[in-house]
Structure 1
């Protein structure tokens, strides 16, 4: 079926990608805008993939003519809250002679980190470069690159005050001969109480005419419900929140209700372990799938539940993200059969496998890109094309234009999702690996259209509801939670851990970072990956020193979320992509990680949702109070009190809550005369 998918909910001025699903590149598809709000001049072309930019709040209704019929797609646009901002960097912050600078490129999340599209103006008044724009409430960073050189840059950060995004949850049940759906909408921080707007899915026979809506309650007669239907609800105040979805399956008088956007239950219990593949065998060996397979007993002993491999496909690079063949494994790592053997060995050990899905770009050494730049007509639209004057690389690209790319990633050109051929190609890639592994970690998820991710989710979940989708969205963005991804990078938490470890913020900042999820509008049950390190950043000890590492790791395992260990974090690997230290690693640090994995498995309170975190009053009898934070985790059967100490040595903490003095991490009695001794992380059972 080519129907483009669920209704879309966007801001006025936000571009919405619209495309047929399961496309046939040789078929004919044509869009038309059938209805638009009063005062709107928006339009779309008749290409197979179109971009609608709503220019007024309200409902937009489009039709797609496809080989299997005509399909209706609705887009709901809401008012946007924006404020003017000015980013500014002084000459002293830029490693360049101001008189020799030709231009300063500005980029950030607000332009998808694309260099060359925005430039700063020279301010003669205060010897600085400035860039002015309008942005929504939140914290925003802009990078200033001198003459398009990625390494000579400075950054500025601005905070736009205003409301966060509201959120909504749905509760539904059959009452007599009706289905009753109740929406519970929550106001955003600094926002007014939202109303709930219900929307019906254009793919289903259920419509608004079948329902009765009274405020936040919707009722539908059971005999009006088709075999399969979906209902959406959006919270709307000053800003709109992400939609909650209810899926309805009806078999006669039996009605089954589910949330198609929820994360699999298994991941909420899991610990993820990321392996930077080509360094995992250590300094003296070439890593192969066989070498990793021989080391699976270590992963099982550590107690992890899922392994995320950095890319295993063919690539000329050690990191693997410059892929030259998306359908086969790299020769230096081993054959496809050897990879599948590794997957099965991990599964036999109770460990699931996450495949690094790289579909925003390919290597510029991919044959398709060579044919694209060489002018072969069949590949003309496979990659993004940008005006030559926008290009900031020093590459003499063949032709009158240049490939699109993010940052300074000139060697990994962006694929063009306006092309049906590219969409069909990438869906084939998804199909190729979905049957082999247990989930995808999706690289540069923010660079791929939302509509495509919605299609990927529907595709992989149709056969396996437990299949996991983890997004790399930096900084994180709540819209990727709307029927797209199960687990999200928590960049706020990651940055807070680094700020605390480097002394730039007090320890309580890690708890403040949890509150950021609420401000962003993430649903209360959204799953977030909490991590200290990954393959893109310097090791924690490189930035913060050795003293705070254990407390930072303790935070990932004792606060809500899905903890992730980056290979070597537990062995004392110093280089962010250095060889695994097998024979000379830090055994005590490894045992510490293993104990935290086990502790989280043993205590449901440590796996409880974010709402089950309570700050606990305390005083520091010794040690710096800014290095200590204390909180309680309440589970179904117990309450635990956690103390983190990010400083060197030992802190003595007097906790204003009755606890058993045995530290569940070390097994030792933590009592001292003035309170409880806390080295880095201590966990105590609360007494009522």
Structure 2
């Protein structure tokens, strides 16, 4: 079968936002100030609580505390997000919940009032779309929460509840809040706060499908699916795709699967997964033995042990061989997320590691995803520390920010970085060189766009010389970095020599566009 994926994702740079921690609105009505009105609905913007017990914004986050970030605040930061070159946002869950991360869903049809409710989300969605920024939501469809109405009815009415068969009830009584007795129901990770749906029940399947359809019709541009591998019901994700794509064929469906995802990337289910295989390899090469082991031991991706260039090249080739090319172009590539320590902390504070890994990500096939704050050098260990608030401007690392802006701009400028062929050219010691190649035959001209990318992860300068005649490389300008470039001919053989400074990378134009 022919695999079809959303074209816009191939050209997207994502920004992942944890809503409670990104921004708190400065323009929300409260009892002591004049009302602020939404320009479209003419309704006042109101926070649910006027004096909620938020944690101090700048204090270290806790597992259960709320910081009070909201969707109005995010909307006020769209200028900043756009200035980065971001054209897609992935939000961790925003639906009503009794947790700061909102993976404990209470109501799938209501945006959490603490974030501003459905009205705030509608205004934010419209504002993002007006800037050509796509919006993807997190769908938690394997499990709900103890506060979910249907499960709460089971807790109240036991075997007499009409919703008993919606969950994996194993016996009576249920024990949702104590570990002293058997829970008597299935829950994700044996966490009693997260009762699992019975997806073999047709009513449950239909309920979830209708939720997916409702928000696509509302205007979102896709779904990121939480732990989709936990749903074993045959045909579930095939139906999910069919129902979503029937409303919007360009909707993006991306699963949270950490390893080999061929089971879900056959063209009938997901358009991509969160590409932790790439993240592990990129960090292991860029950061090497600088990786702080206690920040990665609890996760099942592999940013350690260190990789030399040849080992990194082998892992990348294995990864690129796993899935159809059309799928490779819509993978969600990342270096960190709310489920990992932040890259700066994993790398022990080494800025060069961050810059090198970012260079690898921004030049790799698939859509890059920047975890909010990573672009300004935010630190953060494993959960809950990885979910710190976005820092004040005075605390930004301008060098890291400038790196992100330059690389994102180059990705947007050169289509070969988005959809071009990926070809490894050299992998020895700690120097890795590859090319992104795009040959376009238009009606009146032939465009030959080629970029060469070199990454030296070592602590000494590294030089490589190789023939480029077969690749039809042409002398061009250095777009990024400070490498020394020499072109020379030996008879009919044309060679390119690169001398790359330690702990640095470069991008060189070698096409004749």
TM normalised by structure 2 equals 0.75
Match of 2:118 in 1: 336
Q: Distance in 2 between matches of 1:617 and 1:515?
A: 13
Match of 1:515 in 2: 317
Of 559, 564, 573 in structure 1, the residue corresponding to residue 369 of structure 2 is 564
Residues 578 and 387 of structure 1: CA distance in aligned 2, closer, same or farther (over 3 Å): same
Match of 1:368 in 2: 150
Deviation of 1:450 after TM superposition, in Å, equals 5.0
Match of 2:240 in 1: 456
Match of 1:617 in 2: 426
Q: Distance in 2 between matches of 1:413 and 1:458?
A: 26
Match of 2:442 in 1: none
1:644·1:678 contact (CA, 8 Å) conserved in 2? no
2:14·2:86 contact (CA, 8 Å) conserved in 1? yes
Partner secondary structure for residue 656 of structure 1: strand
Match of 2:20 in 1: 278
Q: Distance in 1 between matches of 2:184 and 2:283?
A: 37
Correspondence 1:145-224 to 2 at 5 A:
none
Of 341, 354, 360 in structure 2, the residue corresponding to residue 538 of structure 1 is 341
Of 350, 355, 362 in structure 1, the residue corresponding to residue 132 of structure 2 is 350
Q: Distance in 1 between matches of 2:452 and 2:234?
A: 40
Listed one character per residue, the Cα deviations across residues 408-466 of structure 1 (whole Å, up to 9, x for unaligned) are 43321211101122112212211221112111111111122351211111111112111
Match of 2:71 in 1: 289
Q: Distance in 2 between matches of 1:445 and 1:508?
A: 33
Segment drifting more, 676-685 vs 359-368: 676-685
Listed one character per residue, the Cα deviations across residues 192-236 of structure 1 (whole Å, up to 9, x for unaligned) are xxxxxxxxxxxxxxxxxxxxxxxxxxxxxxxxxxxxxxxxxxxxx
2:224·2:256 contact (CA, 8 Å) conserved in 1? yes
Deviation of 1:645 after TM superposition, in Å, equals 2.7
Deviation of 1:615 after TM superposition, in Å, equals 2.1
Match of 1:441 in 2: 224
Deviation of 1:406 after TM superposition, in Å, equals 3.4
Residues 508 and 493 of structure 1: CA distance in aligned 2, closer, same or farther (over 3 Å): farther
1:492·1:516 contact (CA, 8 Å) conserved in 2? no
Residues 585 and 401 of structure 1: CA distance in aligned 2, closer, same or farther (over 3 Å): closer
Match of 1:525 in 2: 326
2:455·2:504 contact (CA, 8 Å) conserved in 1? yes
Structure with greater proportional helix content: 2
Match of 1:506 in 2: 308
Deviation of 1:679 after TM superposition, in Å, equals 4.4
Of 477, 480, 502 in structure 2, the residue corresponding to residue 665 of structure 1 is 480
Match of 1:600 in 2: 411
Q: Distance in 2 between matches of 1:554 and 1:518?
A: 18
Q: Distance in 2 between matches of 1:607 and 1:657?
A: 25
Listed one character per residue, the Cα deviations across residues 374-409 of structure 1 (whole Å, up to 9, x for unaligned) are 414311111123579xx9x96245xx7622233343
Partner secondary structure for residue 425 of structure 1: helix
1:306·1:352 contact (CA, 8 Å) conserved in 2? yes
| 2:5 is the alignment partner of 1:263 | yes
Of 383, 387, 390 in structure 2, the residue corresponding to residue 577 of structure 1 is 387
Deviation of 1:312 after TM superposition, in Å, equals 0.6
Q: Distance in 1 between matches of 2:132 and 2:165?
A: 43
2:479·2:507 contact (CA, 8 Å) conserved in 1? yes
Between structure 1 and structure 2, the one with the greater Rg is 1
Q: Which has the higher contact order (CA 8 A, sep 6+)?
A: 2
Residues 289 and 631 of structure 1: CA distance in aligned 2, closer, same or farther (over 3 Å): same
Of 386, 398, 401 in structure 2, the residue corresponding to residue 590 of structure 1 is 401
Match of 2:298 in 1: none
Partner secondary structure for residue 402 of structure 1: coil
2:456·2:500 contact (CA, 8 Å) conserved in 1? no
| 2:361 is the alignment partner of 1:551 | no
Listed one character per residue, the Cα deviations across residues 76-122 of structure 1 (whole Å, up to 9, x for unaligned) are xxxxxxxxxxxxxxxxxxxxxxxxxxxxxxxxxxxxxxxxxxxxxxx
Residues 514 and 671 of structure 1: CA distance in aligned 2, closer, same or farther (over 3 Å): closer
1:548·1:647 contact (CA, 8 Å) conserved in 2? no
Match of 2:165 in 1: 381
Size of the alignment, in residue pairs? 415
2:18·2:101 contact (CA, 8 Å) conserved in 1? yes
Partner secondary structure for residue 485 of structure 1: coil
Q: Distance in 2 between matches of 1:508 and 1:281?
A: 42
Of 636, 639, 645 in structure 1, the residue corresponding to residue 450 of structure 2 is 639
Deviation of 1:518 after TM superposition, in Å, equals 5.4
Correspondence 1:231-242 to 2 at 5 A:
none
Deviation of 1:671 after TM superposition, in Å, equals 5.0
TM normalised by structure 1 equals 0.56
Deviation of 1:364 after TM superposition, in Å, equals 2.0
1:308·1:353 contact (CA, 8 Å) conserved in 2? yes
Match of 1:478 in 2: 262
Q: Distance in 1 between matches of 2:252 and 2:416?
A: 23
| 2:146 is the alignment partner of 1:322 | no
Q: Distance in 2 between matches of 1:680 and 1:385?
A: 56
Unaligned runs of 5+ in 2: 25-56, 59-66, 290-304, 381-385, 440-447, 469-473, 487-496
Residues 661 and 670 of structure 1: CA distance in aligned 2, closer, same or farther (over 3 Å): farther
Q: Distance in 1 between matches of 2:95 and 2:331?
A: 27
Q: Distance in 2 between matches of 1:531 and 1:586?
A: 20
Unaligned runs of 5+ in 1: 1-243, 245-258, 620-624
Match of 1:37 in 2: none
Deviation of 1:670 after TM superposition, in Å, equals 4.0
Structure with greater proportional strand content: 1
Partner secondary structure for residue 432 of structure 2: strand
Match of 2:253 in 1: 469
Correspondence 1:667-686 to 2 at 5 A:
670=484, 675-677=499-501, 679-686=503-510
Residues 510 and 409 of structure 1: CA distance in aligned 2, closer, same or farther (over 3 Å): farther
1:476·1:491 contact (CA, 8 Å) conserved in 2? no
Partner secondary structure for residue 153 of structure 2: helix
Residues 577 and 439 of structure 1: CA distance in aligned 2, closer, same or farther (over 3 Å): same
